[in-house]
Copies of this chain bind each other. A is one copy, B any other.
Amino acid sequence: MRKIGILTGGGDCPGLNAAIRGVVYAAEKFGFSCIGILEGWKGMIEKNTMVLRKEDVAYIIFEGGTILGTSRTNPFKKEENVKKVLDNFKSLDLYALVAIGGEDTLGVATRFYEDYKMNVVGVPKTMDNDLNATDYTFGFDTAVTRAMEAAKALIDTGRSHRRVMVFEVMGRHAGWVALFTAIASASDYVCLPEKKVDPNELIKKVKDAYSRKKFALVVVSEAVEMIDEEKNLGSGEVDQFGHTILKERGVGERIAKFIEKNTGIETRHAVIGHMQRGGEPTLFDRILATRVGIKAAELVRDGDFGKMAALCGNEIKAVPLKEATGQLKLVDNKWIEIMDILF
C-alpha cells in the first residue's frame, strides 16, 4: 500500500486538523495509508513521525492547532538538511508528501518538487488570507471570528465608559483581518497596511462617531503606518539604511495615544495577539479545510504533483504551487468601495 506523508508548517491556525483529517479520510478511501510528519519540515529532517489512521483523526476536526505540531524550519537553509529530507522521504517509503502551510512551507514544497522531482502536493493555509491564487484559505474565518468576539467586549466596555477603543489585530502585509473584523463589528474606522493612515481623516472620523454616540471603535492592522509617522506617532528614529525603526510599542497603542492627544477623548487600546490563533474552528473553516484536504489526496491519487488545492469561487481547484507564492493578495478596490460606504 502506497504511503502518504502529511506535514503542517509555519504559523498554526484553526482548520489544520480538519485538513489533516480530510487527507487521511480520502487517502484511505483511495487505497493509500498515511503517516504524520512532526513539526513541519523539521520532522522530515529528523525523521520524526506518528501514526495517522482514520480512527486517529476522526474527531480532531473540532480542535484548533495541529496534532502534528509545526515549526518554521526551512531545510534549504542548510545543504545537509535537503539531503536528509530526500533520504528520509525514501527511508520512510513515502510515495508522496502533502505539505500544509503558508508561503514559506509551500515555497519549500515547490523547491522539492521543481529541483528534486519529489511527489509533493500543497494545501494552503493563512490566517491573514493574503495568499495569491486562492479566494480564501482556512484559518482566516476563525481568526476573524475570534477578533469579532473580542471586539464585542471592547464595544460593551467602551460605550459604558464613553471611550474611544482601538483594537489591534493581526495582518502583517494585508489588511483582510482588520477589514473583516471592522465590518463585522460595526467599527467606525479601520486602518490597513495597504494604505498609510491619513491622520486628519482618522481624527475626523473618530470625532464624528463620538459626537453621535459617545463612543468610537477603530480597528487597526498590526503593520499599519501613518502619514508623517515620526511626527504623529513618535515612532521615528531612522537607521543607517534610511528605514524607519518602529518603536517597541504596538501600533494600536500608539494610535490610541495619538487619538487621545488630538481629540481629548479618553482612549484605550487592546491587542488580540496570539489569542487570535486558536480555539474551535468555525463551520466555514471546517468545511473548507476538509475539502482542500480531500482534494490534496485526489491530486496524489491522480499523480498530479506540484499543485496545491485552492478555493476558486465555490470550487476547489488544482493550482500550480509556484503561483501560490511570490505575490501577495492585498485588499483591492472592490473592498475599498465598501469601506467608503461603511466607515
Contacts and interface: CB of A to CB of B under 8 A. Distances in A.
A16 B148 CA distance: 18
A160 B340 CA distance: 31
A180 B287 contact: yes
Contacts of A279: 149, 152-153, 156
Contacts of A340: 29
Oligomeric state, in number of copies? 4
A156 B283 contact: no
B160 A12 contact: yes
A73 B338 CA distance: 33
Interface string A59-93: 10111111001110000000000000000000000
A274 B157 contact: yes
Given A156-B277, A165-B274, A274-B154, A184 B61 contact: yes
Given A154-B274, A154-B278, A341-B26, A160 B268 contact: no
Interface residues of A, number: 81
Interface string A99-139: 00000000000000000000000000000000000011000
A64 to B, nearest CB: 3
A65 B215 CA distance: 13
Nearest to A155: B278
Contacts of A313: 135, 312-314
B145 A282 contact: yes
A286 interface: yes
A55 B213 contact: yes
A294 interface: yes
